[in-house]
Structure 1
């Protein structure tokens, strides 16, 4: 979902929801078929691009990844980002 001109002309707010690549089903015999985790993993992201002028924007954001490596035994990942875009 994108929200153009949010709070300031030329700026952009956004939310991204998706699935990480995952293994949905495994047909394997023996130990391999029993040891691979198959928990659902989600990618949630929010960002806000602030347009400083015609040539420069700054985009802070935050990313949350649930059940990394398809395992609920792993803690969720939280990643902070900041991007600077120069337009020529």
Structure 2
């Protein structure tokens, strides 16, 4: 959703009812996920985009065994899509996963990325 000429807001929410076909009794689980996305199009030039994302990777909230992942992971990400010309763009970014595997005792994961897109 565009909010003015220089700000975009988006998001997603998901609820998944999964069935494990490879386990005895085909147990079921409810899985929840969400994300909020902020975009700043044409920042410092036409075709450029600053993006910021915060969300929760999929988390089991209920299953037939009564188990539940009590700690929620959190995904935080920022990137800048730099449109160099009509055919080449470079997108550096960084993200962190807090409570990986939905377990607060796990150390955060930090990742840097660089993506180059060639369009012809």
TM range (shorter): 0.7 to 0.9
Deviation at 1:45, TM superposition (A): 0.7
Partner of 2:83: 51
Q: Which has the higher helix share?
A: 1
Asked whether the 8 Å contact 2:39–2:52 carries over to 1, the reply is: yes
> What TM-score do the two structures reach when normalised by structure 2?
0.64
Aligned Cα root-mean-square deviation (Å): 1.5
Matching of residue 73 in structure 1 with residue 110 in structure 2:
no
Q: How many equivalent residue pairs?
A: 83
Q: Which runs of 5+ in 2 are unaligned?
A: 1-37
> What TM-score do the two structures reach when normalised by structure 1?
0.85
Partner of 1:60: 92
Task: Give 4+ residue runs of structure 1 displaced > 6 Å after superposition.
Answer: none
Matching of residue 28 in structure 1 with residue 60 in structure 2:
no
Residue aligned with 1:22, SS:
strand
Matching of residue 12 in structure 1 with residue 49 in structure 2:
yes
Per-residue displacement from partner, 1:58-78 (whole Å, max 9, x unpaired)? 000001111001111101111
Per-residue displacement from partner, 1:10-36 (whole Å, max 9, x unpaired)? 11110111110111134427xxx4xx7
Q: Which has the higher strand share?
A: 2
